[in-house]
Amino acid sequence: MEPKDDISLAQWSLIEEWRAHKWTTLDFPRLAREEFGLNGVEFVNTLFEAPTETYFKQLKQNAADHGVTMVLIMVDDEGDGCRPDKQGRREFQLFHRKWVDIAYYLGCQAIRTNCRGPQDGGVYSSLSAKVGKKDALEWAADSYHPLLEYARPAGIGILIENHGGVSNDPDWMVQLMKKVNDPLFGAYPDWREPGPDFDNVAYLQKMLPFAKGMSYRNQPTEEDTRKMLGLCRKAGYRGWYGIESDGREAIKQGIRLLTDFNKNNGNQNR
């Protein structure tokens, strides 16, 4: 079947509601379907209230009951993919293995990781930029190669989101993607608002050949959003757009913009 675009709901977009105990993660598939009309969800590992066998069985049943695909798990607080010490890289691999297993059980296609590198006083403050980033490639490759080998039997993708440090540098990320060179390895571009220290359009353009998902956020204008979507379509990206815009009104706006773009550009889905 030819890949097609679809819309999923990222759990972090409603983090304040979760913190206020308005719903639990077990409710999330129903919420995505009944309140937003979406058929995909993206979880955050730290928001699983009781990550036990019984809990995940219930979550899987709830998603099936509402016809919702569980797309990926965003993994936080389990170490960084660019640690300078070998023990830290080993811990990163070990702590992420359980999320590969859980993603496989739930039917997700990938987990999202963080790869920032040392940031005490600034990225590689104790190293020159040239030496630091070269070393960072070796550290990250040493982290991700074994994790990818672990994930291979399950077919779970291992993705990096631009969450600071070296992961915000698209040229470094391209080098890492080519160095690791694994079909399960990819980028998960975060559509943050543009700023003086981050050009989200340039970042997206360089990441598109490696993108295996999109952390979608509404841009400052609808025209800016359509520009980003157009770049994805032109580059041949087909897949999930996980809406991470903050709050219900922003989510609804994102659904409208994505749906309108898909309809106007001949998308087969929705």
The whole-chain average pLDDT of the chain stands at: 92
Interstrand relation of 240-243 and 6-10 (parallel, antiparallel or unpaired): parallel
User: What pLDDT shows up at residue 131?
Assistant: 45
Q: Is the pLDDT of residue 100 over 70?
A: yes
Establish if 222 belongs to a structural domain: yes
Average confidence (pLDDT) over 141-166: 97
How do residues 201-241 score in pLDDT, each as one tens digit? 999 999 999 999 999 999 999 999 999 999 999 999 999 99
Residue 26 within a domain: yes
In a domain, 53, yes or no: yes
Predicted pLDDT of residue 16: 97
The boundaries of the domain holding residue 220 are: 6-264
pLDDT above 90: percentage of residues in the chain: 86
The candidate with the shortest Cα–Cα distance to 239, out of 42, 36, 83, 17, is 42
Confidence of residue 120 (pLDDT cuts 50, 70, 90): low
Is residue 78 one of the residues assigned to a domain? yes
Indicate if the pLDDT at residue 2 is higher than 70.
no
Q: Determine the average pLDDT of the residues in 131-138.
A: 85
For residues 134-163, give the mean pLDDT. Answer: 97
State the pLDDT at residue 99: 98
> Which comes out higher in pLDDT, residue 155 or 1?
155
| Number of folded domains that form the chain | 1
* CATH code, domain with 211: 3.20.20.150
Q: Torsions phi, psi of 156, nearest 5? A: -90, 125
CA distances from 191 to 43, 158, 195, 210, 236 (A): 18, 19, 12, 15, 18
- Give domain status of residue 140, yes or no: yes
- Over the stretch 169-202, which tens digit does the pLDDT of each residue have? 999 999 999 999 999 999 999 998 888 888 999 9
Quote the pLDDT of residue 265. 83
Cα dist from 231 to 126, 183, 201, 237, whole Å = 37, 22, 9, 9
Strand order in the sheet with 157-160: 185-187, 157-160, 110-113, 69-74, 40-44, 6-10, 240-243, 214-216
Q: Of 44 and 120, which is predicted with more confidence?
A: 44
Is the per-residue pLDDT at 129 higher than 70?
A: no
213 — alpha (psi -120 to 50), left (phi > 0) or beta?
left
For residues 171 and 4, which has the higher predicted lDDT (pLDDT)? 171
Residue 270: inside a domain: no
31 phi and psi angles, rounded to 5 deg: -60, -45
| Predicted TM-score of the model (pTM) | 0.92
Query: pLDDT band at residue 126, thresholds of 50, 70 and 90?
Result: very low
pLDDT at 266: 66
* 232 domain residue, yes or no: yes
pLDDT band at 124 (very low <50, low <70, confident <90, very high): very low
DSSP state of 85: S
Residue 85 lies in a domain: yes
pLDDT digits (tens, 9 = 90+) for 37-75: 999 999 999 999 999 999 999 999 999 999 999 999 999
